[in-house]
Amino acid sequence: MKKSIVDFEMSGKVMTYTLECGHKAKFPIEQALSVRILAIDCKECKPMPRIKFYWNGIRVNGGKLQRCYFSYRNWVPSIDPETVGISAKDYDGFSAEIHDLFKVENATDSQSDYFDKDRIKVTPTHPFYTQVKAAFDAMEAHHEKRFSR
Ligand SMILES: [Zn+2]
């Protein structure tokens, strides 16, 4: 993903750009001055994983389905009612990529042998909100189909 340059510093034969993500990229000064560079592919930023939401789980980069279920509109008053909840079905929890993209909650306390499953609250401002909400709708549709016969 290209990142905009927010600042630069010339030192000797090296141009150091500061990118919008906060990382720095160094270029030989001749190269930096010969073309007007506005954005650079940041080598330090992890590429955005391919993430797909299904009615019964999440798949990252084509890996195994991480089973979960979705909830909506059953929150306490202090939480935005449009928030969609994601709850892991398995105790091994969500993968590192999902932990990077969402704030994962888990109340596991190994001291008291209490094991909890991963939970995520996705508010409408989250970049994946639309996809997560669509997965909730797909889950509802799936259940309706199964119980309406
Ligand atoms: Zn970066």
Summarised one tens digit per residue, pLDDT across range 27-66 is 899 888 777 778 888 988 877 889 999 999 999 999 999 9
Instruction: Give the structural domain span for 29.
Output: 2-41
CB atoms within 10 A of CB 119: 19
- Expressed in angstroms and rounded, the spacing between residue 64 Cα and the centre of ligand 1 is 28
- Expressed in angstroms and rounded, the spacing between residue 40 Cα and the centre of ligand 1 is 9
- Expressed in angstroms and rounded, the spacing between residue 66 Cα and the centre of ligand 1 is 28
Residue 46 lies in a domain: no
Tokens standing for residue 78: 């202090």
Q: Are residues 74 and 127 in the same domain?
A: yes
Q: Are residues 68 and 91 in the same domain?
A: yes
Q: Are residues 11 and 71 in the same domain?
A: no
Q: Are residues 61 and 113 in the same domain?
A: yes
Q: Are residues 95 and 129 in the same domain?
A: yes
Residue 146 confidence (pLDDT): 79
**Cα separation values, 99 from 46, 138, 140, Å:** 13, 23, 25
Is-above-0.85 flag for pTM? no
- Expressed in angstroms and rounded, the spacing between residue 20 Cα and the centre of ligand 1 is 7
Q: Are residues 67 and 25 in the same domain?
A: no
Q: Are residues 64 and 122 in the same domain?
A: yes
- Expressed in angstroms and rounded, the spacing between residue 143 Cα and the centre of ligand 1 is 42
Q: Are residues 73 and 120 in the same domain?
A: yes
Q: Measured between alpha carbons, how far is 78 from 83 in angstroms, rounded to an integer?
A: 11
Q: Are residues 7 and 70 in the same domain?
A: no
- Expressed in angstroms and rounded, the spacing between residue 114 Cα and the centre of ligand 1 is 38
Q: Measured between alpha carbons, how far is 109 from 50 in angstroms, rounded to an integer?
A: 32
Which residue positions in the chain have pLDDT lower than 50?
Answer: none
Give the helix ranges, DSSP H, for the chain.
Answer: 29-34, 96-101, 129-147
Q: Are residues 73 and 118 in the same domain?
A: yes
- Expressed in angstroms and rounded, the spacing between residue 11 Cα and the centre of ligand 1 is 21
Tokens standing for residue 75: 């929150």
Domain count, the chain: 2
Residue 149 confidence (pLDDT): 60
Q: Are residues 102 and 34 in the same domain?
A: no
